[in-house]
Amino acid sequence: MTTLLEPGARVFVAGHRGLAGSAIARALADEGHEVLTRTRTDLDLRDAAATEAFLRDARPDAVVLAAATVGGIMANHRFPVPFLEDNLRIQLSVIAGAHAADVDRLLFLGSSCIYPKHAPQPISEEALLTGPLEPTNEAYALAKIAGVAQVRAYRRQFGRRWIAAMPTNLYGPGDNFDPETSHVLPALIRRFHDAKEAGSPEVTLWGTGTPRREFLHSADLAAACVLLLGAYDDDMPVNVGCGEDLTIAALAEAVAGAVGFTGRIAWDTAKPDGTPRKLLDVTRLNALGFAPRVPLARGIRETYEWWLHARPPARAGTSEYMAAYMAQ
């Protein structure tokens, strides 16, 4: 079978310390590829000249652009500037640098949040740019849309075999559990754990609990990305998800059970819900032979157990980074 990523290829994974990037780096290494990485101390991906110089010198066969400034609904709502500007700078630097270094394969990780707020469900790739975005994460979504457009532009103008993937909500070992900037699933784990430890009788969560979300384990995302690098070459981005969703209220109950919190769950309905539903149509990905392997209940338990043992400090680029922007 012909593959677009040769055995033993050298792949630069930008963002290898993040949830998605670390899982992709592990999956590539497991497949026998040589994984190249750089920490933020070694290389600031917002620096276009330094990024191009690194890529010209390293000459990778492929680049996975998983680096991004990310966060949950509260962080997106309060700090739109870094979510817009940092992601634009990172994308421009890495993608233009990859072209300058004549990199044959590039996979850009977008996000399911780039689709219109009221897109028909499940959301197909064709829904991109067909309606207004969710206001609470508009800045991040616009940056990711620009990344998709940049990949398409290089394909059309220069014939690059570059592709984009649109992951659904991710979780798993290596996630960000920072109280201010984490996504919903790790945020719930942290909230329920802290409440259990404190003996709190109640946890109050944002919104109504009625929005529906889809969740994919980072290991399943990584498997999908390796598959796409080897088998997909098209202008259209590819949705990466499991094809099933549940309400935030149901997710909260599942997380509380996994953590062992037995108190009451209350909802602050004055806070925003975000997009009512966000379920991806994964027909394109499934046609390539992909099927997720980690059930949500098991994945939540494993993620909680990982966090209990690892307890990593908040990553640079989260609370400290937002504080720096607030000080400007």
Question: For position 22, what pLDDT does the model report?
Answer: 96
pLDDT over 60 at 180, yes or no? yes
Question: For position 272, what pLDDT does the model report?
Answer: 86
**Tokens linked to 290:** 């992909």
- Over residues 216-222, the mean pLDDT reads 98
| CB-based contacts of 139, cutoff 8 Å, min separation 6 | 76, 80, 81, 83, 84
Numbered residues of the known binding site for NADP(+): 15-21, 109-112, 144, 167-170, 183
Q: Would you call the peptide bond into 201 cis, given omega within 30 degrees of 0 as the criterion? A: no
189 falls within a domain: no
pLDDT category of residue 182 using cuts at 50, 70 and 90: confident
Closest CA to 267 of 203, 174, 196, 323: 203
Burial string for 212-226 (b: 16+ CB within 10 Å, else e) reads bbbbbbbbbbbbbbb
pLDDT tens column, 294-317: 999 999 999 999 999 987 655 544
2 falls within a domain: no
pLDDT tens column, 105-117: 999 999 998 999 9
pLDDT category of residue 218 using cuts at 50, 70 and 90: very high
**Tokens linked to 303:** 């993620």
68 by DSSP, 3-state: which? coil
pTM of the predicted model as reported, rounded to 2 decimal places: 0.91
Question: For position 151, what pLDDT does the model report?
Answer: 98
Percent of the chain with pLDDT over 70: 94
Closest CA to 142 of 111, 168, 108, 169: 111
Q: What is the mean pLDDT of the chain?
A: 92
C-alpha count within 13 angstroms, C-beta hemisphere, residue 261: 27
| CB-based contacts of 95, cutoff 8 Å, min separation 6 | 65, 106, 108, 147, 150, 151, 154, 162
pLDDT tens column, 242-255: 999 999 999 999 99
187 falls within a domain: no
Q: Which of 140, 171, 232, 321 is catalytic?
A: 140
pLDDT over 50 at 325, yes or no? no
Numbered residues of the known binding site: 15-21, 109-112, 144, 167-170, 183, 191, 206, 213, 273
Question: For position 124, what pLDDT does the model report?
Answer: 98
Closest CA to 231 of 31, 13, 14, 26: 31
Question: For position 320, what pLDDT does the model report?
Answer: 44
pLDDT tens column, 128-177: 999 999 888 899 999 999 999 999 999 999 999 999 999 999 999 989 89
**Domain of 288?**
10-174+214-245+277-295+315-327
Question: For position 2, what pLDDT does the model report?
Answer: 65
pLDDT over 70 at 38, yes or no? yes
Numbered residues of the known binding site for substrate: 191, 206, 213, 273
231 falls within a domain: yes
115 falls within a domain: yes
Question: For position 314, what pLDDT does the model report?
Answer: 52
CATH no. for residue 151?
3.40.50.720
137 falls within a domain: yes
Catalytic residue list contains 304: no
Question: For position 312, what pLDDT does the model report?
Answer: 63
Percent of the chain with pLDDT over 90: 83
37 falls within a domain: yes
Question: Domain total for the chain?
Answer: 1
Question: For position 323, what pLDDT does the model report?
Answer: 43
251 falls within a domain: no
268 burial (CB, 10 Å; 0-12 / 13-18 / 19+) is: exposed
